[in-house]
Amino acid sequence: MDCRIIKSPGENTLAILTRRKGSGQREPLEKPDAIGLVQGKLIEMICAADVAEKAVGVTVEDIRGSCPQNMIMLAIFGDTASVIAAIEEIKKKENNRKW
Amino acid sequence: MDCRIIKSPGENTLAILTRRKGSGQREPLEKPDAIGLVQGKLIEMICAADVAEKAVGVTVEDIRGSCPQNMIMLAIFGDTASVIAAIEEIKKKENNRKW
Amino acid sequence: MDCRIIKSPGENTLAILTRRKGSGQREPLEKPDAIGLVQGKLIEMICAADVAEKAVGVTVEDIRGSCPQNMIMLAIFGDTASVIAAIEEIKKKENNRKW
Amino acid sequence: MDCRIIKSPGENTLAILTRRKGSGQREPLEKPDAIGLVQGKLIEMICAADVAEKAVGVTVEDIRGSCPQNMIMLAIFGDTASVIAAIEEIKKKENNRKW
Amino acid sequence: MDCRIIKSPGENTLAILTRRKGSGQREPLEKPDAIGLVQGKLIEMICAADVAEKAVGVTVEDIRGSCPQNMIMLAIFGDTASVIAAIEEIKKKENNRKW
Amino acid sequence: MDCRIIKSPGENTLAILTRRKGSGQREPLEKPDAIGLVQGKLIEMICAADVAEKAVGVTVEDIRGSCPQNMIMLAIFGDTASVIAAIEEIKKKENNRKW
């Protein structure tokens, strides 16, 4: 599982992510302070989405790949501290999982 | 074959799974106590689906990947104990199979 | 090439296979005693389909993958003894082939 | 590059190939004595198609994979001796090519 | 992550890139002095897009792969010096990243 | 990167390539003396397309893969000497590139 954080993302980068949102809403994403990105196997990303959703101060979007139903990346939007905290929680859960 | 369990799944995580259900029903999944996830080769997941279907207290959904006809993950919904039991049965059958 | 047999398949498992039949017929498959599954390269599965078609007491369906034109698994339906015999014939031909 | 020959192909096997013909003609293929199959990289199959087309007594079809524009296998139809000769010519050209 | 630069790109090469622009605009790209190309994992390319967008004197386009929603390459258009500077900045950020 | 040359290509081989032209023109390609084929990563093929376009006496087409937007092979049409010269130039540029 690969994780990265973009601080003060540019408009074009947000537009690339907006075109690939799994939820299908087409209005542009509101410009966040930071974006956290998570790429990995589908089963890892579903678990990461659940961890991020329960974190404070962030919004989660699944980013589609080659077809509308495909999910290949998770984007987490919010203020910088919250996005970092969510990514760290995802990594911690992934490393400590029993299964 | 990769297996995981999400306890008390969040609403957004359920929405991500709902958008990818192979059965094509679009109404949101009723919020379950736990979700078991199984990712592997198609032939492994068909066999796992059959084991889970014969288990008690769980519902099975195939989760689509890049196109509507593609199945890349199995989701098992139910109370936590039943989901854990189904996942353990799937792993046991997979390890003990003759073929 | 990976081969498996499911005895007394459950209804949901049959429904998953029905949604992926290459022949496009959408009526549910009649519940068979057993299902044989064969996953491998397209060229292997075409040859396996031909062996199974010439076997006694079984029906053969190609199961689609990511798109309607894609075939990634072969399903062989019939009574348990016939399905086992067909799978064993497929394996024997695969191991003894000259080409 | 993987090559195989099916002698006296069954009707169901021909139907599977007919549903995947790249040329888009939907009428069933006339039952040939034998089918030669070639699977490999696209660049290998284009070259093999050219060798087969120049051989005597065989017809060549490209067989589609996951989408209509994808080609993942070559099927060569004809009497058994001609199909074997075409497959052997393809293998010889592949082994002796300078590039 | 793989990076290349094409100086004085030909018209046909621009046409190939125009047919694959993720932004969906179909008018031909204005002929730039140079094109920088970046191919890698989606998560790497999103980060590279953000770096390039913040660079001076270049325009960034995501280039689609097998389906309209798929992004498999980043193209950076501009004068030769700016494109080289943007590519070098992308490589530097990639090598120095903490995550 | 894989390169091959077909001399005096057959009509069926040209038809297979015509069905996959990225430029979308559906009229059959005029029969060339030779076809050069280049298969590799997208970033390699874009660079190869630019080299070929600047060569003398050849026409370049991108050949689509599984979907219309996908490019998986480059075809170079022309007289035999020009096609060989273009392929050799592509290989030389690929081996000598700084990036």
> pLDDT digit string (tens) for F49-88?
999 999 989 999 888 765 444 557 899 999 999 999 999 9
Is pLDDT at C11 greater than 60 in this prediction?
yes
List the Cα angle E5/E6/E12 in 5-degree steps.
145
What pLDDT is attached to residue F96? 83
pLDDT band at C96 (very low <50, low <70, confident <90, very high): confident
Q: What is the pLDDT of residue C99?
A: 57
pLDDT of D35 higher than 90: yes
User: Model ipTM?
Assistant: 0.82
Burial of F90 per CB tally in 10 Å (0-12, 13-18, 19+): buried
Least CB-CB distance to A4: which of E65, E71, E97? Answer: E97
| Nearest alpha-carbon partner for E29 in C55, F46, D12, D34 | F46
The pLDDT-based confidence of B42 (bands split at 50, 70, 90) is confident
Q: How many CA atoms lie within 13 A of B88 on its CB side?
A: 8
pLDDT of residue F65: 60
Q: Which of B45, B59, B69, B96 to mutate to test the interface with C (most CBs of C within 10 A)?
A: B69
Average pLDDT on B19-34 reads 74
Q: State the pLDDT at residue E40.
A: 83
- The most distant pair of C-alpha atoms in chain C lies apart, rounded to whole Å, by 40
E11-19 mean pLDDT: 87
pLDDT for the residue numbered A16: 84
- Whether residue E31 has pLDDT greater than 90: no
Mean pLDDT is lowest, of A71-85, C84-98, D78-92, E54-68, for E54-68
Average pLDDT of the segment spanning D70-87: 88
Does residue C4 have a pLDDT over 60? yes
pLDDT tens figures, C18-58: 887 777 665 666 789 999 999 888 888 889 999 999 998 99
Q: With 50 as the cut, is the pLDDT of residue D67 above it?
A: no
| Cβ-based contacts of E42 with chain A (< 8 Å) | 39, 63, 65, 72-73
User: Is D12 a residue whose pLDDT tops 90?
Assistant: no
- CB of E74 closer than 8 Å to CB of E45: yes
Yes or no: say if D65 and D19 are a contact pair by the CB < 8 Å rule: no
Q: Answer yes or no: is pLDDT of F6 > 70.
A: yes
pLDDT above 70 covers a percentage of chain B that reads 83
Structural domains of chain E sorted by starting position, each given as residue range(s) with its CATH number in brackets: 2-96 (3.30.70.1710)
Which is nearest to D38 in space by CA: D99, D71, D87, D81? Answer: D87
State whether residue E68 sits within 8 Å of chain F by CB. Answer: yes
Q: Which two tokens stand for residue F58?
A: 């050849």
In this prediction, residue D69 carries a pLDDT of 41
| Residue keyed to tokens 């067989």 | D63
| Most confident of the following: B26-40, E27-41, E78-92, F12-26 | E78-92
Chain mean pLDDT for chain E: 84
Residues of chain D with pLDDT > 70: what percent? Answer: 83
Out of E23, E42, E50, closest to residue A9 by CB? E50
Average pLDDT over residues B25-31: 67
d(C-alpha A31, C-alpha A9), whole Å: 8
E13, F49 in Cβ contact below 8 A? yes
Mean pLDDT of D73-95: 93
Distance CA(A63)–CA(A49), nearest Å, equals 11
- For residue A27, what pLDDT band results from cuts at 50, 70 and 90? low
Task: Provide the pLDDT for residue A91.
Answer: 93
* Interacting residues of E81 by C-beta distance below 8 A, sequence separation 6+: E57
The pLDDT tens digits of the residues spanning C50-73 come to 999 999 899 998 887 554 445 578
Chain C residues lying within 8 Å of B65, measured CB to CB: 66
Q: Give me the sign of the Cα torsion angle D34, D39, D45, D51.
A: negative
Chains contacting F with at least 3 CB pairs below 8 Å?
D, E
Lowest mean per-residue pLDDT among A23-27, B76-80, F6-10: A23-27
Note which residues in 19-58 of chain E have CB less than 8 A from chain A. Answer: 22-23, 41-43, 46-47, 49-50, 53-54
The answer, yes or no, to whether residue A43 has pLDDT greater than 70, is yes
pLDDT of C63: 83
